[in-house]
Amino acid sequence: MALITLRQLLDHAAEYSYGVPAFNINNMEQGLAIMEAAKAVDAPVIIQASRGARSYANDIMLAKMIEALAAIYPDIPLCMHQDHGNNEATCMTAIRHGFTSVMMDGSLEGDAKTPASYEYNVEISERVARMAHWVGASVEGELGVLGSLETGEGEAEDGHGAVGKLDHSMLLTDPDQAVDFVKKTQVDALAIACGTSHGAYKFSRKPDGEILAMSVIEAIHKKLPNTHLVMHGSSSVPQDLQDIINEFGGAMPQTFGVPVEEIVRGIKMGVRKVNIDTDCRMAMTGQFRRIAEQNKAEFDPRKFLKPAMDAMRDLCKARLEAFGTAGHASKIKVIPMDDMAKRYASGSLAPKTN
Ligand SMILES: [Zn+2]
């Protein structure tokens, strides 16, 4: 059993200058694909479940699945993370079901749609961090609202995302405010807004500094060199995956994601967790379409799912290699959550903000 907390994993990533992709799951096949990739390249992994995933799969199913994945792959440090928790209850029930880490996204109110005030965000994130740390679990906060700098809109995914036009200043995290936020909330990792958005339709052209503000990451890292930064909406939406879907009967309009080389640049500037969901979905769905088109007599779901898992495994493997995560699993000695709780209580894990 090698369930690791986000805090320990990202501390290790910072020490050895690498990033860790966080892949979303809803089902067994995605979980197996991620773990196969991790095993192939000796990488630790972050698996995350959104509220949408929890209602799709059921909490007990997810909890048992994580337990099973940890048992099947005992040598792979596995962090189980709640993606975009909208309130205290979402975060606490995740921990109760065996998650080692939660995101309290207080950039939006509890409805997961309305942009929240800074005061609201600080208050709820601080409260969740305090409760989670009592049991040794880690907390990711978010400052700034995710959305496109091209359209000024957020992208709702799994029922989560800002609705309506957003002011440019909300779409870019303010570095000074970030320092204040980490100080007040004591979060272990900070998700920042820099022009990325959820889903496949992030950019209408290959992004430049106008629409993907890597400079914001650099500025935050300068002020908060010891804080683990998180990039959301960081699928690359590779052209070959778009092509496979469209070649076999799909109709995805041309779109652009976050180039892998930009993420690698971000990792050099303190990004430690990189959220990827769309790419995994596209890798699988492309194979469903291909099999359906090429073998119209096929009716065994496994004949669709096996190539889909293989495609997702290859995608995950490529990201683990590109982000430098590969080769680190065997170097990590997992600290149990109870020990992490003691370290929080002693103050030794308090964020260094100056
Ligand atoms: Zn996100």
Q: According to the model, what pLDDT value does residue 162 have?
A: 84
Q: What is the 210 CA–ligand 1 centroid distance (Å)? A: 21
Q: What tokens were used for 193?
A: 């807004």
Q: Which residues pair with 81 in a beta bridge?
A: 48, 101
CA-closest candidate to residue 280, choices 247, 250, 309: 309
Residue 326 phi, psi (nearest 5): -60, 140
| Residues 103, 84 contacting (CB under 8 angstroms) | yes
Distance 39 CA to ligand 1 centre (A): 25
| Whole-structure pTM value | 0.97
Q: Across residues 243-254, what is the average pLDDT? A: 97
**What residues does the ion ligand 1 have nearby, CB within 5 Å?**
232
Ligand 1 geometric centre to CA of 232 (Å) = 5
What's the pLDDT band for 354 if we cut at 50, 70, 90? low
The Å distance, Cα 84 to ligand 1 centre, comes to: 6
- Residue 287 Cα to ligand 1 midpoint, Å, equals 25
Tens of pLDDT, residues 305-332: 999 999 999 999 999 999 999 999 999 9
User: What pLDDT is stored for residue 259 in this prediction?
Assistant: 96
| Superfamily covering domain 6-346 | Aldolase class I (3.20.20.70)
* Residue 108: closest CA among 143, 140, 79: 143
| % of residues, the chain, pLDDT over 90 | 91
pLDDT at 154 over 90: no
How big is the chain, counted in residues?
Answer: 354
| Beta-sheet strands, E only, within 218-334 | 228-231, 271-276
Going from the Cα of 303 to the center of ligand 1, the distance in angstroms, rounded, reads 31
pLDDT of residue 60: 97
Residues forming the active site: 83
Residue 46 has which token pair? 């972050």
**157 band by pLDDT with thresholds 50, 70 and 90:** confident
Residue type, 89: A
Q: What pLDDT does residue 68 have?
A: 97
Residue 1 has pLDDT above 70, yes or no: no
- Domain edges within the chain: 6-346
| Mean predicted confidence (pLDDT) in 261-276 | 97
How would you classify the pairing of strands 189-192 and 101-104? unpaired
**Cβ proximity of 178 and 223 under 8 Å:** yes
Q: Which residue has the higher pLDDT, 354 or 198?
A: 198
d(CA 177, CA 324): 30
User: pLDDT tens for residues 85-128?
Assistant: 999 999 999 999 999 999 999 999 999 999 999 999 999 999 99
| Percent of the chain at pLDDT exceeding 70 | 99
| pLDDT for the residue numbered 165 | 82
- Tell how far the Cα of 156 is from the centroid of ligand 1, in angstroms: 10
Q: How far is the CA of 155 from the centre of ligand 1 (A)?
A: 10
Triad 29, 286, 58: Cα angle to 5°: 30
pLDDT digits (tens, 9 = 90+) for 205-247: 999 888 899 999 999 999 999 999 999 999 999 999 999 999 9
Question: For residue 254, is pLDDT > 90?
Answer: yes
What is the average pLDDT value for the chain, to the nearest integer? 96
